[in-house]
């Protein structure tokens, strides 16, 4: 099923970064946007900028997500697209790559947050909204994972492992519900200029403050959002915003051992 028009969309993590850009793009298309974020002030600012509504909640609280879906469907109408975009990472980029602690991520609270926000939040959203979408014959789920969910984030094992899980969950949803009209898209960007990689909202500089791995092609969130919405509307499952990721994934699939050796050399380069 392809969707030509999105009446109502929910965007989690909509207060900053990629989520904020997704909200703005959807609003420009005439979609009623519900901006969800744990950062209440940020959600309200974005919502008032775009004429949407704001909801402050923690996406890893299943009851709160169920209530959100219930309330939005009552007040705004049926949710056509639910974008699970909120995410967290605690890597320290190149520094994490060389510190034994950074790579292993010794802090259980951080592993826990990554599982809850990067994976379980997608599960809770699907549980709340898919049965309703099935009843009306379709709907669209867009889940933001990362290129780290197909490749790896050097220096952040918890981020890498949970983003792989997010890709796996999206694949299961697509396989199980695709024929019943649920369109699933999983978004796997490489570096995007947001607070997650040390760049404040609306920063003019792409490099300023960037502490992540030395990756090529840092994109602006607005460009990422346009690709995500265009490709999601076209019904694409795997959305690769950075073209080079296709090549990296092909190389990994064709020779996993060689790919690991290449990543070891890359890590070494980052450490020197």
Ligand X SMILES: NC(=O)c1ccc[n+]([C@@H]2O[C@H](COP(=O)([O-])OP(=O)(O)OC[C@H]3O[C@@H](n4cnc5c(N)ncnc54)[C@H](O)[C@@H]3O)[C@@H](O)[C@H]2O)c1
Given 12, 45, 53, 157, the residue binding ligand X (CB under 6 A): 12
Given 35, 83, 87, 93, the residue binding ligand X (CB under 6 A): 87
| 3 state DSSP class of 42 | helix
Cα 17 to Cα 188: distance, rounded to the nearest angstrom: 15
Cα 106 to Cα 136: distance, rounded to the nearest angstrom: 45
Catalytic residue among 124, 159, 177, 248: 159
Instruction: Tell me: does residue 54 bind ligand X (CB under 6 A).
Output: no
Sign for the CA dihedral angle at 233, 237, 239, 244 comes to negative
Could you count the other beta carbons within 10 Å of the beta carbon of residue 207?
9
Instruction: Tell me: does residue 194 bind ligand X (CB under 6 A).
Output: yes
Given 22, 23, 34, 38, the residue binding ligand X (CB under 6 A): 38
159 included as an active-site residue: yes
Given 195, 211, 261, 269, the residue binding ligand X (CB under 6 A): 195
Instruction: Tell me: does residue 211 bind ligand X (CB under 6 A).
Output: no
Instruction: Tell me: does residue 241 bind ligand X (CB under 6 A).
Output: no
Least Å from the CB of residue 4 to ligand X: 26
Instruction: Tell me: does residue 117 bind ligand X (CB under 6 A).
Output: yes
Cα 169 to Cα 143: distance, rounded to the nearest angstrom: 9
Cα 5 to Cα 112: distance, rounded to the nearest angstrom: 37
Instruction: Tell me: does residue 91 bind ligand X (CB under 6 A).
Output: no
Structure tokens at 92: 């320290």
Catalytic positions, written as ranges: 159
């Amino acid at each position: 099923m392809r969707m030509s028009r999105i009446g109502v969309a929910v965007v989690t993590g909509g207060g900053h970064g990629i989520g904020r850009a997704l909200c703005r793009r959807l609003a420009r298309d005439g979609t009623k946007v519900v901006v969800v974020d744990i950062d209440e002030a940020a959600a309200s600012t974005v919502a008032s900028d775009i004429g949407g509504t704001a909801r402050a909640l923690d996406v890893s609280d299943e009851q709160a997500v169920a209530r959100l879906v219930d309330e939005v469907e009552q007040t705004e109408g049926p949710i056509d697209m639910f974008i699970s975009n909120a995410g967290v990472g605690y890597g320290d980029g190149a520094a994490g790559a060389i510190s034994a602690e950074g790579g292993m991520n010794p802090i259980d609270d951080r592993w826990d947050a990554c599982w809850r926000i990067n994976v379980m939040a997608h599960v809770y959203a699907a549980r709340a909204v898919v049965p309703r979408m099935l009843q009306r014959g379709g709907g669209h789920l867009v889940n933001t994972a990362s290129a780290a969910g197909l490749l790896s984030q050097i220096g952040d094992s918890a981020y890498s492992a949970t983003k792989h899980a997010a890709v796996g969950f999206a694949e299961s949803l697509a396989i199980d519900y695709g024929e019943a009209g649920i369109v699933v898209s999983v978004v796997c960007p490489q570096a995007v200029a947001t607070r997650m990689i040390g760049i404040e909202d609306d920063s003019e500089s792409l490099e300023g403050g960037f502490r992540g791995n030395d990756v090529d092609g840092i994109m602006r969130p607005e460009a990422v959002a346009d690709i995500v919405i265009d490709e999601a509307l076209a019904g694409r499952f795997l959305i690769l915003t950075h073209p080079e990721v296709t090549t990296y994934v092909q190389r990994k699939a064709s020779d996993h051992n060689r790919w690991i050796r290449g990543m070891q050399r890359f890590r070494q380069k980052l450490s020197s």
